[in-house]
C-alpha cells in the first residue's frame, strides 16, 4: 500500500468503502506517521510472550523461543492479553445529526473502527457495545485477528436508534464487564450530565480506566443559522420555531457550559476526556488512546 497521510479528512474517509478499508487507511497512515514523528517513543507492537516466573505452568513454556534465546517464555493466551478494551458507541437518535454530509454516528463509527483495528493490531482484546436506551449490540473482547471483522461488520451497518438513556445501559455494562480493563465511550453525551457521570463513576469504581470521546458537530458549537426555522429534537420529536439571531448568544453559552460540565465531571472522576469535532482527523484520537495506553499499562 502506498504511503498514507497522517491526517486524513473524515469527509475523504466517508468516500472509502468498506469499513475495514477505512480503518486500515486510518491506522496505517497513523503508524506511518509515528515512525517518523516526535511520537516515535510510543510502541505500536506488543509482545505475544512474557518471561517465565517461578510458579508458572511449565506446560506453557515456548521451547522454540527458549532454543533461540536461552530464556524461558510463557505463551500468552487470549485471556492473558496485555489489555482488554471495550468500545462503547452511542447510537441514539441525536447521533444521527450531521451538518457537512457526515453524521456524528458515522464519524463515531469510523472512530470506533479505527480504534478497534488498532487495538487488534496490537494483539490486545477489543470488544464493541452499541446502545441507545438499551444495549443493542454486544461483542465480547477478543484478541483473535478474525474478531475484528465481526466488529467492523456491525459498524458498517449501524443506524441511529431511539432516544438517549446514558445511565441504564452504562450501569448494566459496568456490572457485567468483570475483568478490569479500558473502557472507551464514544458519544455526543446528550443527556443529563449527572446521569452520565454517575455511570462513568461506576466503571471507575469497578477498576476500569475510562476514555470519553465527546463527539460534536461544528454547527452545535458555532450555531451558524440565520433564517427563522423550525427546529426539531430528534429524540423527542418536539418542534420549536426559532429566530437564530435572537437566541444565538444564549445557545452558545449553554453549549459551552454543557461541554465544560462534562469535561469537569470527567476530571473529577479521573476519566480522560477529549472533545472531537466531526471535521477533525481521526488519528488525533488514536494518538490520545496510545498515550493513555502507554502510561497506564
- Higher pLDDT among residues 238 and 135, named by residue: 135
Cell 532454543 identifies what position? 67
What mean pLDDT do residues 28-32 have? 57
**pLDDT > 90? residue 169:** yes
d(CA 15, CA 64): 46
Residue 87: strand, helix, or coil: strand
User: Which CATH number fits the domain 10-35+82-296, given the four candidates 3.40.950.10, 3.40.50.150, 3.10.640.10, 3.40.50.410?
Assistant: 3.40.50.410
Residues 98-110 pLDDT 10s? 987 789 999 999 8
Closest CA to 221 of 194, 196, 248: 248
Domain ranges across the chain: 10-35+82-296, 49-78
Q: Residue 283's closest CA among 3, 23, 15, 18? A: 23
pLDDT, position 22: 58
| Confidence category of residue 286, pLDDT binned at 50, 70, 90 | confident
Q: Residue 30: helix, strand or coil by DSSP?
A: helix
Query: What is the pLDDT of the chain when averaged over all its residues?
Result: 80
Q: What is the mean pLDDT of residues 245-258?
A: 94
Q: What single string gives the DSSP state of each residue in the chain? A: -----SS--HHHHTTS-SHHHHHHHHHHHHHHHHTTSTTTTS-S---SEEE--TTS-GGGB-HHHHHHHSS-EEEPPGGG-S-EEEEEEE-SGGGG--SSS--HHHHHHHHHHHHHHHHHHTT-EEEEEEESSSEEEEEEEE--TTHHHHHHHHHHT----S---SHHHHHHHHHH--S--EEEEEE---S-HHHHHHHHHHHHHTT-EEEEEEEE-HHHHH----S-EEEE-TTT--EEEE-HHHHHHHHHHHHHHHHHHHHHHHHHTT-EEEEEETTS-THHHHHHHHHHHHHH-
Q: Using CA atoms, how far apart are residues 237 and 38, in angstroms rounded to an integer?
A: 48
Cis-peptide, bond into residue 18, ω within 30° of zero? yes
| Mean pLDDT across 113-130 | 86
The pLDDT of 243-255, averaged and rounded, is 92
Amino acid at each position: 500500500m502506498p504511503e498514507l497521510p497522517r491526517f486524513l479528512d473524515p469527509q475523504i474517509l466517508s468516500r472509502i468503502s468498506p469499513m475495514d478499508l477505512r480503518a486500515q487507511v486510518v491506522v496505517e497512515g497513523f503508524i506511518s506517521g509515528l515512525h517518523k514523528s516526535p511520537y516515535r517513543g510510543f510502541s505500536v507492537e506488543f509482545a505475544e510472550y512474557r518471561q517465565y516466573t517461578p510458579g508458572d505452568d511449565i506446560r506453557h513454556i515456548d521451547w522454540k523461543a527458549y532454543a533461540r534465546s536461552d530464556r524461558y517464555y510463557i505463551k500468552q493466551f487470549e485471556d492473558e492479553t496485555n489489555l482488554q478494551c471495550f468500545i462503547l458507541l452511542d447510537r441514539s437518535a441525536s447521533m444521527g445529526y450531521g451538518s457537512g454530509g457526515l453524521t456524528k454516528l458515522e464519524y463515531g463509527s469510523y472512530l470506533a473502527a479505527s480504534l478497534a483495528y488498532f487495538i487488534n493490531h496490537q494483539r490486545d482484546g477489543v470488544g464493541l457495545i452499541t446502545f441507545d436506551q438499551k444495549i443493542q449490540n454486544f461483542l465480547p473482547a477478543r484478541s483473535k485477528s478474525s474478531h475484528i471483522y465481526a466488529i467492523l461488520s456491525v459498524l458498517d451497518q449501524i443506524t441511529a436508534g431511539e432516544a438517549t438513556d446514558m445511565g441504564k445501559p452504562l450501569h448494566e455494562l459496568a456490572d457485567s464487564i468483570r475483568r478490569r480493563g479500558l473502557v472507551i465511550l464514544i458519544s455526543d453525551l446528550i443527556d443529563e450530565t449527572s446521569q452520565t457521570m454517575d455511570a462513568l463513576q461506576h466503571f471507575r469504581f469497578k477498576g476500569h480506566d475510562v476514555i470519553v470521546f465527546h463527539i460534536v458537530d461544528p454547527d452545535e458549537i458555532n450555531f451558524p443559522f440565520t433564517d427563522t426555522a423550525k427546529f426539531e429534537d430528534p429524540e423527542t420529536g418536539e418542534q420549536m420555531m426559532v429566530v437564530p439571531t435572537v437566541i444565538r448568544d444564549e445557545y452558545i453559552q449553554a453549549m459551552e457550559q454543557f461541554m465544560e460540565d462534562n469535561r469537569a465531571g470527567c476530571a473529577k472522576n479521573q476519566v480522560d476526556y477529549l472533545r472531537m469535532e466531526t471535521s477533525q482527523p481521526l488519528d488525533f484520537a488514536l494518538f490520545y488512546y496510545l498515550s493513555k495506553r502507554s502510561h497506564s499499562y
